Structures are given as C-alpha cells and as structure tokens.
Structure 1
Amino acid sequence: MDVSSLFRWTPGRRAGLGAALLALMTLGLALLARRVEAVPSFARQTQLPCSACHVGGFGPQLTAFGRQFKLMGYTMKTGSGANVPLSAMLVESFTHTAKAQVDPPADGFSRNNNTELQQASVFLAGRLSEHVGVFAQATYSENGGLLGWDNMDVRYANSFNAGKHNAIWGVSVNNNPTVTDVFNTAPAWQFPYMGADLAPGAPAMPMLFGGLGGQVIGANAYLQLDGRWYGEVGAYRSLSPSFLRKVNADFDGRLASTAPYARLAYTWNLPAGDLTAGGFYLHARRGLPGENARGQAVALPGPSDRFDDLGLDASYQRAIGSDHRVTINALYVNERQKLDATWASGASTYRTGRLTALNLDASYWYQDTWGGTVDLFADNGRRDPLLYGDAGKPDTRGATFEADWNPFGHAGSWEQPWANVRVGLQYTWFTRFAGRVHNVDGAGRSASDNNTTFLYLWLAI
C-alpha cells in the first residue's frame, strides 16, 4: 500500500524525585489525563492511537504512516474542533557502571549508581494552519540544572499531482541537521532513543552526530516523489553566543561559512515490508570557541577546521499481522577532517584526521507493548596523540541491548492514546574504549569497566 496517497490534499533531574515517586506520578497523571486535557498533541489532533505513527507504542521510531504525517508538516487533522498543540514528557533514570568512575560524571552526582530526572520537556507540536506545522521542544535536565531549547522543526508542506506521479514537498526551518529526517537511521533519531548521560561515551563522533545540534539555524527544502524517492537540501548558519546563552545551549565554535546539508533516499514498498536505502552529506567549517573577560563563550578569530561527512544508511521495517513488528537499521558515516584551527592551537598532532561511525540495530515489538533491541556500534578514528591522549585513537566498540515494556502501547489499551508509559532496561558493553581494551585512562581502567546498566521510566502526556 502506498501510504503517501492518504496524505494528498483535497480542496476546500534529582529534585526529590525517586523512581518510586515518579511511578506514582505516572499513574496519577494517566488517570487525570482526560480531565486536564494533557494529552499527546499529535494523537489529540488526529484522534488516532500513538501506535499508528510510532513503532513501540510511542516515539520516536516512525511507521510508514508516521513518516507521511511528518512529511505533510504535522498537519493531518480529524474533526473540526480546536486543538492546543501542547505535550509534555518526563524521564526518570538510574545509571550504574561496572566500576565506579574516577570522578563524578557531573556536578551533584556520585561516581556511580545515580538517579536523575533526566528530562522534563514541553512540546509545541502540531498543526498551526492547513499547510504549516511545528515540532519544538524545550527541556530541563537535572544534569546541568537548566531549561533550554531542544529540537525545533517548523514546516510548510503541500502536495501535487503531475500525471501519474504524486509528490509531497515542503520547507523546514530547524536547528539540527537530520532532525528533519523521517527515517530512524538519521543520527538525530537513531537508537538508542533514550540513553545514559551520566556514563562514559565515545570520545569522538562525526559532526553529523549532534555536533551542530541546537547551535545553528537552517532552512531545508524537501521532496517525496511517489512515496519512494526522498530528497532534501539545506544550509545552516551559527547562532550567536549571546542567543545560545539565553536558550542555555552549548557553543562549540562558530561556523566560518554556511554549512550545506543534503539527503537522498529511496523506499521499496514490498509486500513483506518497506526497504529504504540512502545517504547523507554535510560540509562544515568551524572555528574554535573561547571566552571573553567575563568567562562567556565567544568565537575566536583565526583559521577554521573543516569537516566533510558522508553517510550511507539502510532500513527495513515489516509488520506481521497486527501484533508483530520488526525493524532493522544500518548507518555508516565517514568524516574527513582538515584541522587547521586545532593544529594551530597545538591541540592536534596532524592537520588532517578522519572519523568513522558504524551502527547496526534490530528490534522486535509484540503488540507495541513488549520490545527488544540489539545494537552493534564501532566508532573509529585516525591516530592523533595530542587529540586523543595516551591511546592516540578514539576507537570505541561494543553493543547495547534494551528490553522495553509499554503497558498501554497497544491501540486498544486502557486510556490509549492518553496514557503513554515506557519502562526500559538497557545494558551497554564495550570491547574497546578510547583506543584500548585495558588501561584506557592510564590509571588501570579497562574498557569493560565502563559497561553500563541504564533503567528508565518515560512518561509522555
């Protein structure tokens, strides 16, 4: 079935919150959801269960129908009543590493066994007019203790028919390359969809993996043709340090010029599921960040570093009856670097570098209620002792397994779509970390000492 045909236009953080308390809050909010109308805004707008657009009960993994909903600018609506496009999300988590970290991972936390109000978010998400929609997120995290802006995507979308061909086209203003993407191979939306922020992670990743997220503003134009071809082109510019301070966003240096971004993908609508293959490209030139006399982040004058990211991705998704759903995703990104600014500052041994990232994940969901995912990752880089320390390389490899329970994930569940709760248990193990298997930090710590158990409770209303 060509889902795109359904969307053609017709005329006319620890603030006294522990896991037990949050569980009580979850139950209470679910019971009160209808009365206070604090419901997921997309579900309220479409009057469809969250499983219509999302694999596993609710986000972020999109079904074929969910991809079309996003491409049409979040504007599909059922009924004539007014809808307030607001939603909220809470995530409480517990993080344990196999061996306590040498130092606390953040201010106010312990070396191990941390509970955290990881995210408290509000969303402006939904239809603003017939052709304009928005997905904008503001997030508070106990790690840092700040409320700041998060992903933003404001779209104009329309459709047209030309002979036997139908197309969806649109324009997006957004603050993160790949946040506009509709496939869950894109770095902004790939697995893990919720991860530990108080545990060690890969020391270096290509720029596409959030290197510009929240620090830029961009405009993208996209086109989907016959529900198969998908293309997108755009460009990004840095936001000023003063603006980023106001929205509590990081500043990692200013782009020296406009950063172009492109995306191309093709989907085969098969009887046994959907298969997609495609690629990404990002070019960015960025200077080094510094501080002014008041200790505020500013852009330093001088040379810039250049990053060229080329990615290849593939995805397969199949629904087997109404109870079973299988998804397989793959992403490989190669980044070539010319580090003129970093080398001139004495922070790198060489003027050129390279990073690669490979992710392979497979998931299975039963009735959008019980789910399991396995992810294999390998992040590698060219040797540079100054840039990467004693080991001289950033190579980090391992795997993640996650088991999920969505008690109200099924389309016919109690209080669906108002009650949305996910309990996730995730375990990540490392076979290599920061270039080594043993003594990864020069103090005897092994890669496996960073193995992480992560438990979270996620509420969306």
Structure 2
Amino acid sequence: MSVSPSAQAIPAFARQTHAPCTACHVGGFGPQLTAFGRQFKLLGYTLSAGDKDNVPLSLMLVETYSSTRKAQTAPPAKGFGTNDNTELQQASVFVGGRITDHLGVMAQATYSENGGLLGWDNSDLRYARSSAAWGHNVVWGISLNNNPSVTDVFNTAPSWQFPYMAPDLVPGAPAAPILMGGLAGQVVGLNAYAQIDGGLYLEAGGYRSLSPAFLRDVNADFSGRLSGVAPYARLAYTWNLAGGNAQIGAFGFHAARGLAGANMQGDAVALAGPSDKFTDLGVDASYVLQGGDKHTVTFNGLYLTERQRLDATYAAGISSNLHDSLRALNLNASYWYRNTWGITLGEFADDGSRDLALYGNDGRPDTRGSVVELDWNPFGKADSWMQPFANVRLGLQYTWYTRFSGLVTNIDGAGRRASDNDTLYLYAWVSL
C-alpha cells in the first residue's frame, strides 16, 4: 500500500494543554487517539492550561528508506532509482491549537522530496461548544476542512487508518473507493457534528471542488471537478468499558465528478461533459484496552463498498463498463508497552468489478496482503527528555502481497510476481 495519511500528532497541542503527548495519543504520539484525545479534537482543539506564551506551531520531518523484493521496471519518480530509495518523505509545518474559547485549528503544509513541492495538507478549522440539552450532555461543532473523513476521531476512518506512515516510491493498489483519499486536499467541506452523552456521534456535511487554479497555487492534485455538493454522513457509537472503550459506526458519501485534462501549458483543467458517480457506504469498529501505564491494545476495522456509474470514463473509452464496483477491507491490531515499544499487524484487501480498459492486466483491481510494523517511541511521556518538544518514532515495516492487480504471476506483463512488490520500509519520524 502506497498511500498514507498525514500524521495528526503535534507537540503544540501538548504545550497548550501542559499534558504529555501520551494523554492524547496511543504510542507516544499520533495519530491513534485516546479517549481524551478524541474529546480534545471534538471540542475544537481549544482545551488550554492558560499559557498565553504558547506558540501554536509545530514541525515534522520523516526520513525514509524503501526497498521492494525485486527492483521496479522503471524509477517510481524523477530523481529516484528502481529500488533501495531514501527520501525526505515529509517535511511539514503545522498551525494547531486554540484561537478563541470555542474556535481552534489543525492545519498542515507539507514538502516532499518526491515532486519537490510544498503544498497544503489536511486542514480542519472548528467551532465547538459543550452544553446540556434535554437532560443530555452534548458536544457540538462545525468543521471547515479539506478532506472527507479528516474530521473523524477514530483510526478506522479512511483519513486516519493504518498504516500511519507508508512508502510513496513503491507500487500501490490500482484502485480504492473515492472516500479513501480520492479527494484529499482537492475540496472544501462544511460539516456539523454532535456527540451525545459521550456515546452517540452524528456528523453530516457536504464538499465542493476547489478550482484547478487554486490547487495549482497550493501544489495540490486535481482529478476532476465535482458536480454540485458531495454529501457526507457519519454515525458512530462508543461504549466505555472497564479499562477501555469500544466503537461501531458507519460512513456514507456520494460524489459526481467529471474528468480532468490539461491545457496547452500542461496545467490541469476540468473537462466539460458528463460526470462519474460514486456512492460509498462503509462500516467500522474499534476497540481500545488500556492496562494502566504499561499495556495498550487496539483493534481497528473498516469495510467500504463503492458503486460506480462511469458516464464520463465510459464515454471517453477509459473503462469497459458503465457500471463498476469496488470494495476495500482494512483490519489491524496493535500492542504497545509503556507507550514506547509497539507492534502492529494489518490485513488489507481491495477488489471490485473486472474492467480491462480501466485496470489492464486481467482487468481486476484485486490486491491483497498483510503488514507488520515494529515501532520505538523513546519520548512523548510525562517524564521524557525535553517533553513535549522532542518526539521521535523509529519504525520498521514490512508489507507482503498475495495478489496484486488481480494476479499472482506476471502482474505487469514484464514477468513480475505479486510477491516482487513486497516492501521493506524504514522511517524516522521527528516532531517538534
């Protein structure tokens, strides 16, 4: 898997609250949220210890090494080799924290050596309040954001699911539902949400496309203009249990998107004509067990299904079918000892309709495999050196594939096997 969420773990929040990073995050720092971290986000990042001198800025650097079992047939990007690549994968600056009593922000801009550009990343501006209504405790708010599901507080959400860091210089799944990052950074959305008695969570909103010109200015991708408003809905329920909590939920999203093209200067433009329609429905569940200060166990699961009516793609001859479907499954479990040493095991499966024009090979997007990751977080605790300024995670990740792009052998016409894309990935993630 080659797409990873941007990390939501910034020391500016710890400096604002005077709480260690482990108060909000499982494993030293992000992005997995504890129950306290979820409430901090739902309340608009506004909880403060009253330190007026806190500067709401943080920096993040991620240096990586990636190697596939067999070298790729061509370099994955300009300036890189066919294998054994090192990269400054992310260099980010965050603005995060309280603006007023009820208004807060988490916004990120990221530079990547792959592409050599600084662009905007996940951003979330919130107005939130807590009140009593009809005998219930209600946290409610409004979020202005640029990525469907970035508002979520659970690590089952497409924007925040495992793997939290993943290589971008190796082959990835040929297709996934549009809710799994297909519009990240390309849209602006307004969402209203409410949490009732700490259990029931409701969210609804809509997203509009940003112009290709604006996206060029912020160095963001453009994959086609949305037709009108794309509605998004989220439902979840959380139970507090002895030593932890459990959650189940559901997602719904619908988008109609036209095709993207390029003008004579090579800049992305929206093409006139029909739109492709995508309807995503999903279910998710999670469980967190915290055994005091020593042991933390988490389980996360997400299943998404997408129905597609490809009016634009089919008319352009890019797809063989007018109607297609996609399915995505992501399961993972992690164990952390003293929020310092962690191991995570994950399974993923992406499949869908057979479409020769869209996917090539035998026409199936079926890609399946597993991930294991070992982590060491030496800092982030209340007694850590330079707490909360110094945060480091060293990660060793291995991904192996049992099927890739519908095939086990000769997956690209050049003799590569699915297992040739098995990937060793090491990263050093620093946040200040």
Q: Distance in 2 between matches of 1:395 and 1:98?
A: 20
Kindly provide the amino acid, as one letter, of the partner of residue 62 in structure 1. Answer: L
1:276 alignment partner in structure 2: 247
> Residue by residue, what CA displacement relative to the aligned partner does 1:280-327 show, whole Å, maximum 9, x if unpaired?
011000000011122111000001000000010000001011111000
Q: Does 1:94 pair with 2:65?
A: yes
1:213 alignment partner in structure 2: 184
Runs (4+) off by over 3 Å: none
Indicate the SS of the match to 1:188: helix
Q: Distance in 2 between matches of 1:460 and 1:294?
A: 38
Displacement after TM superposition at 1:79 (Å): 2.7
Indicate the SS of the match to 2:122: strand
Q: Distance in 2 between matches of 1:404 and 1:147?
A: 28
**Contact in 2 for aligned 1:367/1:409 (Cα 8 Å):** no
1:375 alignment partner in structure 2: 346
> Residue by residue, what CA displacement relative to the aligned partner does 1:78-97 show, whole Å, maximum 9, x if unpaired?
03433221000000000000
Displacement after TM superposition at 1:273 (Å): 1.8
> Residue by residue, what CA displacement relative to the aligned partner does 1:105-156 show, whole Å, maximum 9, x if unpaired?
1000000000000000000000001000000000000000000000000000
Q: Distance in 2 between matches of 1:429 and 1:301?
A: 41
Indicate the SS of the match to 1:104: coil
Displacement after TM superposition at 1:275 (Å): 0.5
Q: Does 1:363 pair with 2:308?
A: no
2:135 alignment partner in structure 1: 164
**Contact in 1 for aligned 2:349/2:366 (Cα 8 Å):** yes
Kindly provide the amino acid, as one letter, of the partner of residue 236 in structure 2. Answer: A
1:349 alignment partner in structure 2: 320
Q: Distance in 2 between matches of 1:411 and 1:207?
A: 40
1:139 alignment partner in structure 2: 110
Q: Does 1:185 pair with 2:156?
A: yes
Of 48, 54, 59, the residue aligned with 1:77 is 48
Q: TM-score, normalised by structure 1?
A: 0.91
Of 121, 129, 154, the residue aligned with 2:92 is 121
Of 70, 76, 79, the residue aligned with 1:108 is 79
**Contact in 1 for aligned 2:361/2:406 (Cα 8 Å):** no
Indicate the SS of the match to 2:189: strand
Kindly provide the amino acid, as one letter, of the partner of residue 335 in structure 1. Answer: E
Out of 192-201 and 270-279, give the one that drifted further. Answer: 270-279
**Contact in 1 for aligned 2:25/2:33 (Cα 8 Å):** yes
2:6 alignment partner in structure 1: none
Of 210, 213, 223, the residue aligned with 1:252 is 223
> Residue by residue, what CA displacement relative to the aligned partner does 1:351-376 show, whole Å, maximum 9, x if unpaired?
00000000110000011100000000
Q: Does 1:407 pair with 2:378?
A: yes
Kindly provide the amino acid, as one letter, of the partner of residue 157 in structure 1. Answer: A
Displacement after TM superposition at 1:40 (Å): 1.6
Q: Distance in 1 between matches of 2:243 and 2:294?
A: 15
Q: Distance in 1 between matches of 2:311 and 2:104?
A: 41
Q: Distance in 1 between matches of 2:350 and 2:121?
A: 25
Q: Distance in 1 between matches of 2:97 and 2:380?
A: 21
Q: Distance in 2 between matches of 1:62 and 1:237?
A: 28
Kindly provide the amino acid, as one letter, of the partner of residue 385 in structure 1. Answer: L
> Residue by residue, what CA displacement relative to the aligned partner does 1:346-404 show, whole Å, maximum 9, x if unpaired?
01111000000001100000111000000000000100111110221010000000000
2:298 alignment partner in structure 1: 327
Q: Distance in 2 between matches of 1:163 and 1:339?
A: 46
Q: Distance in 1 between matches of 2:394 and 2:377?
A: 7
Q: Does 1:422 pair with 2:393?
A: yes
1:457 alignment partner in structure 2: 428
Q: How does 1:436-447 map to 2 (within 5 A)?
A: 436-447=407-418
Displacement after TM superposition at 1:408 (Å): 1.3
Kindly provide the amino acid, as one letter, of the partner of residue 152 in structure 2. Answer: D
Indicate the SS of the match to 1:42: helix
Indicate the SS of the match to 2:74: coil
Indicate the SS of the match to 1:244: helix
Displacement after TM superposition at 1:415 (Å): 2.1
Q: Distance in 1 between matches of 2:53 and 2:133?
A: 33
Q: Does 1:130 pair with 2:110?
A: no
Q: Does 1:155 pair with 2:126?
A: yes
List gaps (5 residues or longer) in structure 1: 1-38
Q: Distance in 1 between matches of 2:389 and 2:338?
A: 17
2:236 alignment partner in structure 1: 265
Q: Distance in 2 between matches of 1:425 and 1:243?
A: 37
Displacement after TM superposition at 1:162 (Å): 2.4
Displacement after TM superposition at 1:413 (Å): 2.1
Q: How does 1:390-401 map to 2 (within 5 A)?
A: 390-401=361-372
2:175 alignment partner in structure 1: 204
1:53 alignment partner in structure 2: 24
Q: Distance in 2 between matches of 1:163 and 1:337?
A: 42
**Contact in 2 for aligned 1:98/1:448 (Cα 8 Å):** yes
Indicate the SS of the match to 2:160: coil
Displacement after TM superposition at 1:196 (Å): 0.4
Q: TM-score, normalised by structure 2?
A: 0.97
Indicate the SS of the match to 2:16: helix
**Contact in 2 for aligned 1:95/1:452 (Cα 8 Å):** yes
> Residue by residue, what CA displacement relative to the aligned partner does 1:242-295 show, whole Å, maximum 9, x if unpaired?
000000000000001210000000001111420100000110000000111221
Identity percentage of aligned residues: 66
Out of 265-274 and 426-435, give the one that drifted further. Answer: 265-274
Indicate the SS of the match to 1:353: strand
Kindly provide the amino acid, as one letter, of the partner of residue 439 in structure 1. Answer: N
